[in-house]
Amino acid sequence: EKDGHDWFMRKEIFEQPRAVADSLIGRRTTAGLLALDEMRLADEEIRDLDKIIIIACGTSFYAGMVAKYAIEHWTRTPVEVELASEFRYRDPIVDQTTLVVAISQSGETADTLQAIRHAKSQRARVLAICNTNGSSIPRESDAVIYTHAGPEIGVASTKGFLTQLVACYLLALYVAQVKGTRYGDEIDEIMVQLEAMPDHIATVLEQAESVYELARAHVGTRSVLFLGRHAGYPVALEGALKLKELAYLHAEGFAAGELKHGPIALIEDGLPVLCVVPPRGRDQLHGKMISGIQEVRARGALTICLAEEGDRKIEPYADHLIRLPQVPVLLQPLVAIVPLQLFACELATALGHDVDQPRNLAKSVTVE
Ligand code: F6R
């Protein structure tokens, strides 16, 4: 049942190329347009949208953070991302021109369910991104995009996260198509890039052994930091969450630009810092990330850098280098999170923890 793997989580990490491919199947019509069958919002409603609010918890929230970058860039529609548990309590400004997007793998998360009930009471339209057919959140939503990860058994979300990202990109492209903020050929080009992602993810998985080795070398580590920028920032947060929940280690993700505003004080000799380096295409981003990495390394950090193939500039500043395929910055989370999942899974295993059933956690959080 685990396909020869020791943990469901590890099996699910290796299923990600398939899960991403399945979540993309059937989304393009012969006319080249995007079709989202389960989306039940009229084009007119989409054209009238003033704002999108994404609500979710945990890993799903980080998928929402990535979605914000993609939706705003491709559709020019303002996006807020909010923790479901906070949403209701701040008297959010929501009306019929607001689309609330609830992201939930299980579809049963109580905080998220309560948040969409509140949004509906304020007349917002609600769209669910969900992996579980017929669960509460899609049932109570106006529209749904189902992800096709298949059942996720490991408590820590992996393929659930990747397929949520895919659904978010599809939603962004769909809104761009309906609103006319992107031309058909641009949308087509991004779809082609998305359709190449399963192979790219498989390429990253080929490096599993070297990531495992690195993870096992960190058995005595008490704290790990993660740095990212732009779409790599949520990846840093998600990488840190995986390590907390599985290895029970202190782990924190930071936006690299925030370093000098405080977190750099944490850097001490030998502290491992995992850095998600953006592709070189976005020059400013890349250069700024490198200077952040330089700063922490100068203060003794041990830098483990995830950087695209062919990036030579990072080499002098990386104690360890994990190569990522060359992909656009907005899609990079789909490949960049994979080594971080492998790292957390292997380190937790080496520490003797139950990876599939981490202490104190439940797969479905049905109480607020
Ligand atoms: C982390 C994890 C949790 C969930 C969160 C939301 O690995 O699995 O943080 O992402 O509890 O769950 P869903 O997506 O089911 O609403």
Res. 90: pLDDT tops 70 = yes
pLDDT digits (tens, 9 = 90+) for 10-38: 999 999 999 999 999 989 887 777 888 78
Q: How far apart are the first and last CA of the chain?
A: 32
d(CA 193, CA 17): 14
Q: Which of 7, 54, 59, 146 to mutate to test the pocket of ligand 1 (most atoms within 8 A of CB)?
A: 59
d(CA 303, CA 321): 8
Res. 333: pLDDT tops 90 = yes
| Spacing, Cα 190 to ligand 1 middle (Å) | 28
Any residues with CB less than 8 A from the CB of 66 and at least 6 apart, and which? 165, 168, 231, 234, 235, 330, 333
Burial class (CB in 10 A: 0-12, 13-18, 19+), 257: middle
Res. 174: pLDDT tops 70 = yes
What per-residue confidence (pLDDT) applies to 225? 97
Q: Which of 8, 55, 57, 133 to mutate to test the pocket of ligand 1 (most atoms within 8 A of CB)?
A: 57
Burial class (CB in 10 A: 0-12, 13-18, 19+), 69: buried
CA 161-308-62 angle, to 5 degrees, is 25
Q: Report the pLDDT averaged over residues 281-309.
A: 94
With a pLDDT cut of 90, the percent of the chain lying above it is 88
What per-residue confidence (pLDDT) applies to 325? 98
d(CA 240, CA 353): 17
Please give all residues whose beta carbon lies within 6 A of any atom in ligand 1, as ranges: 57-60, 104-106, 109, 112, 156-157, 241, 245, 365
User: Distances from the Cα of 151 to the Cαs of 105, 132, 319, in angstroms?
Assistant: 10, 8, 37
322 compared with 361, residue with greater pLDDT = 322
pLDDT digits (tens, 9 = 90+) for 236-251: 999 999 999 999 999 9
pLDDT digits (tens, 9 = 90+) for 131-158: 999 999 999 999 999 999 999 999 899 9
Report whether 162 contacts 176 (CB < 8 A).
no
Res. 282: pLDDT tops 70 = no
Choose among 272, 357, 259: nearest CA to 322. 272
What per-residue confidence (pLDDT) applies to 136? 97
Paired strand residues for 228: 255
234 — pLDDT class (breaks 50, 70, 90): very high
Which residue, by CA, sits nearest to atom 11 of ligand 1?
Answer: 58
80 — pLDDT class (breaks 50, 70, 90): very high
Any residues with CB less than 8 A from the CB of 135 and at least 6 apart, and which? 104, 106, 107, 108
d(CA 193, CA 187): 10
34 compared with 346, residue with greater pLDDT = 346
Half-sphere exposure of 29 (CA within 13 A, CB side): 8
Amino acid letter for position 297: R
Res. 363: pLDDT tops 80 = yes
Choose among 327, 354, 339: nearest CA to 197. 327
| Spacing, Cα 61 to ligand 1 middle (Å) | 8
Mean pLDDT of the chain: 95
Least confident interval from 134-138, 252-256, 293-297, 356-360: 356-360
What per-residue confidence (pLDDT) applies to 283? 67
200 compared with 3, residue with greater pLDDT = 200
ipTM strictly over 0.85?
yes
| Spacing, Cα 157 to ligand 1 middle (Å) | 6
Paired strand residues for 99: 52, 125
Does residue 2 carry a catalytic annotation? no
Which residue, by CA, sits nearest to atom 5 of ligand 1?
Answer: 58
| Spacing, Cα 339 to ligand 1 middle (Å) | 19
